[in-house]
Structure 1
Amino acid sequence: MSPQKQGYFYVLITMCIWGGFTLTARLGANWGISAWDITGLRFALAFCILMPILIYKKDTAFLWKKEPFILAMLGGVTYCLTAYSAFHYAPAAHAAIFLNGSIPLCTAIAAFVLFQQPIDKHTWISVAIMVSAIGLMSFLMYQETGVAFGLGDGLFLLSAIWWGIFTVLLKQWKLSAWHAMAGVAIWSAIIFVPIYLLFFPKHWSDPEPMQLIGQVIFHGIFVVIVATLTYVEAIKRLGAFKAGSIVTLAPFIAAILAVPLLNEPLSVAIVCGLVGMGIGAIQPWKWLGRKDSLQQRLEQQKRQSK
């Protein structure tokens, strides 16, 4: 395949996994798998796979730097505990709105606060669209249910903040995809798994054995390892804007699929939130701007050739 086709292939894999994360996390909550259960077992499995590889490659020196540890505490343990907990209180559509939809906004704000990186006009437009969408959604939800903003929504938004800070630090520290992924998985396991085994209650018998095993394999291998690597490969071949824009659609598609698959409601309020946050996250007007710029360059080249 050409590099472009390879890029779309990697995007497809990443979309399937990211969309699957939303559906399986909500399904795990319905099965009674707690946030600390899936977090502990997910990183324990990833550790058992990655640590022997690092030892075999003699590539463990990077683990003793502060950067992988900090990233693991933010994008590993803390993010997983808040995100998985949120699925116990809110449906998959709310995850697409308050978690995935808010990540680009939280990333831009984190970059400004931590490293004084300016917020461009596209982000300000996104902020206006997202705030308007959440405001309209909250108003409609209050009219329908009497509750405008729930605990699960707050946890999803908090998770987006953790992931935004994680993304900014990862970009600033310039760790490779392999080192970032391995460092987060291994340090998360080293810190959290012993605490989980010693102090947290276990709910291993609540779901069926195959349900628990399936969740651990999917989240420990596909989400932690495979999706990280395929996303980076897609960016290499398609560029960050195109790859990121397409992949961002995955959780929104998952929210729609959750209606027939998980029997979750899809009200007018949720539709407004999905549409508004989707537009704000994807920023479709950039595509129009890029097409105009490309057309201008082509016309300029024609004039120069004459």
Structure 2
Amino acid sequence: MSPRSQGYVFVLITMCIWGGFTISSRLSAQWGISAWDITALRFALAFCILMPILIYKKDTAFLWKKQPFLLAMIGGVGYCLTSYSAFHYVPAAHAAIFLNGCIPLCTAVAAFLLFKEPFDKHTWGSLVIMLSAISAMSFFLYQETGVAFGFGDLLFFLSAIWWGVFTVLLRQWKLSAWHSMAGVAIWSAVIYVPIYLIFLPKKLSEPEPVHLLMQTIFHGVFVVIVATISYVEAIKRLGAFKTGSIVTLAPFMAAILAVPLLGEPLSRAVMCGLIGMAIGALQPWRWIMHKDSLQQQLDRQKKQS
């Protein structure tokens, strides 16, 4: 198998897991598994897998730096609690709109506020499209329900802010994929799980044991570990732009699948939000420009040869 084919295989694996995150998180809410519980189970299992590996490899020194700890509090505990909680209030399609759709925008804003990185023309274009889509969606939602946005939408947007800040810090600090993944999982478990055990409410006796097991394995192993590794391997073979653009489709596809799988409605307002946010997040015009730049490079190489 060629490196390019391998890259697409890794992209497919990542898309399945990222799309599955949306479906499984909504199922978790329907099965009565609280955000407190699934967050603790997710990081506890990841800790039990990753910590022995780090000890065996004698690769624990990086954990004592401030960067892994801060990343864990932002992209680990903060992100998980708000995103898992949001699925208890709104359908899965809202996650694609207010979480995954807003992540590119929140990342650009975080980069500007934290490190003074200016917006490029693509970001401004996305901003206009996304604000138009959200405005239209809020108008239709108000017509349908009398409420423009719900509490779950606010939680998803807060999750997008967490992830945007996390992405910018990760890029600025230049941690490897392995160290960032392991650091987030381990510090999240070390800080959050004791607080959960001592202070936070637990409803582990209410859901079916098989449901708890399924969610723990999927989120603790596949989301935390497998998806991170497959995403990084895909970037190595296909590049960051192509990989990121393709993988971004996963949550929007999951939102469509949630209609038959979970019986969730797909109203005019939600469709408007999905289409607009997908265009703003994917920035399809960059695909055309990206191809043109590649063709120009090939043409220059031909002339030189």
Q: 2:159 corresponds to which residue?
A: 159
Distance 1:299 1:52, change over 3 A: closer
Tell me how far apart the structure 2 counterparts of residues 274 and 176 of structure 1 sit (CA, whole Å).
33
1:295 Cα shift?
3.6
Secondary structure at 2:7's aligned position in 1? helix
Q: 1:24 corresponds to which residue?
A: 24
AA aligned opposite 1:234: A
AA aligned opposite 1:83: S
- TM value normalised by structure 2: 0.98
1:299 Cα shift?
4.5
Distance 1:174 1:302, change over 3 A: closer
Distance 1:187 1:302, change over 3 A: closer
Tell me how far apart the structure 1 counterparts of residues 125 and 10 of structure 2 sit (CA, whole Å).
29
- TM value normalised by structure 1: 0.98
User: After the TM superposition, which parts of structure 1 deviate over 3 Å for at least 4 consecutive aligned residues?
Assistant: 294-305
1:303 Cα shift?
5.5
The alignment-based identity, stated in percent, is 78
Q: 1:220 corresponds to which residue?
A: 220
AA aligned opposite 1:104: P
Structure 1 gap segments, 5+ residues each: none
1:292 Cα shift?
2.5
Q: 1:99 corresponds to which residue?
A: 99
Q: 1:283 corresponds to which residue?
A: 283
1:103-133: CA deviation from partner (whole Å, max 9, x where unpaired) = 0000011001100111100000000000000
Q: 1:87 corresponds to which residue?
A: 87
Tell me how far apart the structure 2 counterparts of residues 34 and 232 of structure 1 sit (CA, whole Å).
30
Q: 1:238 corresponds to which residue?
A: 238
1:205 Cα shift?
1.6
Q: 2:3 corresponds to which residue?
A: 3
User: Within 5 A, what are the aligned runs for 1:125-204?
Assistant: 125-204=125-204
1:291 Cα shift?
2.3
1:257-293: CA deviation from partner (whole Å, max 9, x where unpaired) = 0000000000011011000000000000011112233
1:200 Cα shift?
1.3
Secondary structure at 1:118's aligned position in 2? coil
1:34-79: CA deviation from partner (whole Å, max 9, x where unpaired) = 0010001110000011001101111000000000000000000011
1:301 Cα shift?
5.0
Tell me how far apart the structure 1 counterparts of residues 44 and 300 of structure 2 sit (CA, whole Å).
57
Tell me how far apart the structure 2 counterparts of residues 49 and 301 of structure 1 sit (CA, whole Å).
48
AA aligned opposite 2:235: I
1:300 Cα shift?
4.7
Tell me how far apart the structure 1 counterparts of residues 13 and 217 of structure 2 sit (CA, whole Å).
16
1:164-206: CA deviation from partner (whole Å, max 9, x where unpaired) = 0000000100000000000000000000000101111211121
Tell me how far apart the structure 2 counterparts of residues 138 and 268 of structure 1 sit (CA, whole Å).
11
Secondary structure at 2:54's aligned position in 1? helix
Tell me how far apart the structure 2 counterparts of residues 59 and 301 of structure 1 sit (CA, whole Å).
44
AA aligned opposite 2:102: S
1:298 Cα shift?
4.3
Tell me how far apart the structure 1 counterparts of residues 303 and 2 of structure 2 sit (CA, whole Å).
31
Q: 2:67 corresponds to which residue?
A: 67
Tell me how far apart the structure 1 counterparts of residues 228 and 299 of structure 2 sit (CA, whole Å).
39
Tell me how far apart the structure 2 counterparts of residues 259 and 148 of structure 1 sit (CA, whole Å).
21
Q: 1:124 corresponds to which residue?
A: 124
RMSD of aligned C-alpha atoms? 1.1
Secondary structure at 1:203's aligned position in 2? coil
Tell me how far apart the structure 1 counterparts of residues 283 and 133 of structure 2 sit (CA, whole Å).
14
Tell me how far apart the structure 2 counterparts of residues 300 and 16 of structure 1 sit (CA, whole Å).
38
Secondary structure at 1:201's aligned position in 2? coil
Tell me how far apart the structure 2 counterparts of residues 36 and 243 of structure 1 sit (CA, whole Å).
32
AA aligned opposite 1:177: A
AA aligned opposite 1:265: P
Distance 1:186 1:300, change over 3 A: closer
